[in-house]
Amino acid sequence: MISNIWNALLYKPLLAVLTFLISIVPFGDVGLAVIILTILVKIILYPISQKSIKNQAKMNVLTPEINALKKSGISKEEQAKQTFELYKKHKVNPFSGLFLALIQIPIIFALYYVFMKGIKIDVGYNMNFLGILDISQKSLVLAIIAGISQYFQAHFMPKPPVSTDNTGSMAESFGKSMHMQMKYVFPFLIAFIAYRVSGAVALYWITSNIFTIGQQMYANRNKTDGNK
């Protein structure tokens, strides 16, 4: 049952779109098709991811008020209640980032499955990306670029809100730890996975990260322009 839903909603549609793209890109270049498919997926998820970015920015703005609540001497229960009311007043959802991740996880696995299972389609195709790299095989070059792009993607992510003193909550400590791991550990993990699987997966990560970096820079620029 779950397998049928997976195939009907994710795997087969993604494979069908990839097949169509391969049939229209120059020389049946699978690499170009993978790039276009990744961009299409990111565009579909753009409204949700953009909302998550704006939400994180709002949470950072609210940090001084949250810190003030912690220093007020009220009970933990009252702090939690007033913090929730603060989020509600400013229309902030502290779980939006988690929601975005949960949406993307099945899509990412489906894309991986498409690439890992191998391209077995009727149309003519070429696995040599731009006539240079065979993305059906492991590619150290693409894996390294995937890791580097992941680092910069984490670098441009909004920093988690932190207390101005040493009274940070467990959630803040967890957020800071996750941010550090995303920036300094995750790139090595992505590079390793990308190398172990195939150049196609590495190309997917590179394209996805570059799109996200551009999206974040655009959001930062709009925020800066709005403060002028």
Overall domain count for the chain = 1
Consecutive 10-residue averages of pLDDT for the chain (228 residues): 74 86 89 92 83 71 72 73 75 66 72 68 77 87 92 76 51 57 80 85 90 84 58
Following DSSP, what letter does each residue of 154-202 receive, concatenated?
A: HHTSPPPP--SSS---HHHHHHHHHHHHHHHTHHHHHHHHHHHH-HHHH
Instruction: Count Cβ atoms within 10 A of the Cβ of residue 212 and give its class: 0-12 exposed, 13-18 middle, 19 or more buried.
Output: buried
Measure the CA–CA gap between 107 and 120, rounded to whole angstroms. Answer: 20
Measure the CA–CA gap between 189 and 24, rounded to whole angstroms. Answer: 34
Centroid of chain to Cα 206: 11
Q: What is the pLDDT of residue 226?
A: 52
Domain that holds residue 52: 2-226
Q: What is the pLDDT of residue 23?
A: 87
Q: What is the pLDDT of residue 32?
A: 93
